[in-house]
A and B are shown apart, each in its own frame.
Chain A
Amino acid sequence: MRQLFTDDGDSQQARSARGQTTIDFGVGVSLFLLTVVFIFTFVPSLFQPFTSDQSQIITADRTADMLVEDMLLPNTTTAERYVLDRRCTVTFFKQMQGTTVSNPPDDCRFNTSITSPQLMLGLKSYQSVNITLEPADGSKSGIVKLTDAKKPTGSMTRMAIGESPPQQGNVVAAQRAVYIRRANGTADEYRLFVRVW
């Protein structure tokens, strides 16, 4: 009797008492798996600032400082930082790009015979650097082309040094707001970007 009861009644009860369909199981397990996957992808990203190369940040910052506060300024006693000398800046970029500069100005603050950015800026040979001059207006993008101050209608130099930074990996960028005068008295603002990786 008991077995019959358990055979019919309880098994029916068991079926009706189970009350959980496959969908319930699916919902529960997928919720759990989602949480686990979320945690495994989120927690390592918390440590990202501490795993990147800390020295690159300092390198980018100091290189930018060196350029806008010393190297590209006119060689006068009243030179103000962030106000760059047009001829020296264009010569610097041309020199670093490897094109020979005819009649380089002799009163610039940098050595006009060095052509490697790493040597000029004091970087290690394995450090790659990309220096660009871009428009100051945030709504515009792209690299600026400048003419030499002496020849306002001459050829334009593309103000970029070094290869483009990689699309992946850690690239540290430092930016400065600079001001370059033209020969006719007007002046423009630009952004100098130094990217190190």
Chain B
Amino acid sequence: MLGDTDTLPSENRGQAFTLEAVFASMLLLSAVLFALQTTAITPLTSSTSSQQIQNQQAALTEGFLTTAQERGQLKPAVLYWNATSEQWHQSGVDGVYPSEPPNAFGKQLNETFLNWGVAVNVDVEYYTQPDGTGERDTRTQTMVDMGAPSTNSITAKQTLVLYDDDVLRATDGSRTSKNLSAYNSSFYAPDAAPSSPVYNVVTIEVVVWRI
């Protein structure tokens, strides 16, 4: 009799178990999240392993640029320009390749980076003509644009000299017949030294990051 009254509260209390469990879970998860924010350790924070990945990517990109230079693929890639439409050959509406260019340099880019799950941006930096005070500025022409790099991206550069007697390349990679010096305004880079055999000095900048 009195025992019946005593069993009532405990039987009523059984209703609270599910809600208690949900609240306890939420409390645990929020405690973990708070602790993560305080100590700034998350799976996405730069740690030693992502630094190691960046070092490897940097060494690989330098090796790639050295190889492209040895193979003689860099200069044809820089000169793979369509002078009539004033953009890279077969480069789409905005004049930028969304993936690798259709030349030997692009094939090498594909094998070295894209097939390994690494995205690439390639820019060509060139000098403008000297202004009144003889100063030159630098401008950038984008060749390959695969989006904004992540925070763990690295950059490698290679400098190249273009001469007045270099020629542009056609769509199939063969040499055309007109010298660079004849193209002053339909090529992206102007003749930065009109009185010397050097046409311009360009820097190829490759930004590499893991997808």
Interface size of B by CB at 8 A reads: 46
Chain B CB count within 10 A is highest, among A7, A18, A19, A47, for A18
Closest-by-CB residue of B relative to A175 is B56
How far is it, in angstroms, between the C-alpha of A47 and the C-alpha of B47 when the chains are bound?
10
B-side interface mostly: helix
Asked if B132 is an interface residue, CB under 8 A from chain A, the answer is no
Closest-by-CB residue of B relative to A64 is B59
How far is it, in angstroms, between the C-alpha of A35 and the C-alpha of B21 when the chains are bound?
10
**Contact A50–B67 (Cβ < 8 Å):** no
**Contact A14–B52 (Cβ < 8 Å):** no
Q: Which listed residue, A14, A19, A35, touches B29 by the CB 8 Å rule?
A: A35
Which residues on B sit within 8 Å (CB–CB) of A172? Answer: 52
**Contact B32–A80 (Cβ < 8 Å):** no
Bitwise, A26-49 to B at CB < 8 A (1) or not (0) is: 011101101110010011011101
**A contacts, CB < 8 Å to B:** 3, 6-7, 10-11, 14-15, 17-20, 24-25, 27-29, 31-32, 34-36, 39, 42-43, 45-47, 49-50, 54, 57, 61, 64-65, 68, 80-83, 136-139, 172, 174-179, 187, 189
Which residues on B sit within 8 Å (CB–CB) of A178? Answer: 63, 67
**Contact A35–B25 (Cβ < 8 Å):** yes
**Contact A39–B17 (Cβ < 8 Å):** no
A-B residue pairs in contact (CB < 8 Å), sample of 25: A3-B4, A6-B1, A6-B8, A15-B11, A20-B18, A27-B21, A34-B25, A35-B25, A49-B48, A61-B52, A61-B55, A68-B63, A80-B66, A82-B63, A82-B66, A138-B111, A138-B112, A138-B117, A175-B56, A177-B64, A178-B63, A179-B67, A187-B71, A189-B108, A189-B111
**Contact A82–B52 (Cβ < 8 Å):** no
Shortest C-beta distance, B28 to chain A (Å), equals 5
**Contact B115–A19 (Cβ < 8 Å):** no
Asked if B211 is an interface residue, CB under 8 A from chain A, the answer is no
Shortest C-beta distance, A18 to chain B (Å), equals 5
Which residues on A sit within 8 Å (CB–CB) of B48? Answer: 49-50, 54, 57
**Contact A179–B63 (Cβ < 8 Å):** yes
**Contact B12–A14 (Cβ < 8 Å):** yes
**Contact A138–B116 (Cβ < 8 Å):** yes
Which residues on B sit within 8 Å (CB–CB) of A36? Answer: 28
Closest-by-CB residue of B relative to A43 is B32
Which residues on A sit within 8 Å (CB–CB) of B66? Answer: 80-83, 179
Which residues on B sit within 8 Å (CB–CB) of A83? Answer: 66-67, 70
**Contact A177–B70 (Cβ < 8 Å):** no
Known interface pairs A18-B14, A83-B66, A177-B67; A32-B55 also in contact (CB < 8 Å): no
Asked if B15 is an interface residue, CB under 8 A from chain A, the answer is yes
**Contact B63–A137 (Cβ < 8 Å):** no
Asked if B7 is an interface residue, CB under 8 A from chain A, the answer is yes
**Contact B60–A179 (Cβ < 8 Å):** no
Shortest C-beta distance, B82 to chain A (Å), equals 28
How far is it, in angstroms, between the C-alpha of A189 and the C-alpha of B115 when the chains are bound?
14
**Contact A14–B11 (Cβ < 8 Å):** yes
Closest-by-CB residue of B relative to A23 is B18
Shortest C-beta distance, A99 to chain B (Å), equals 28
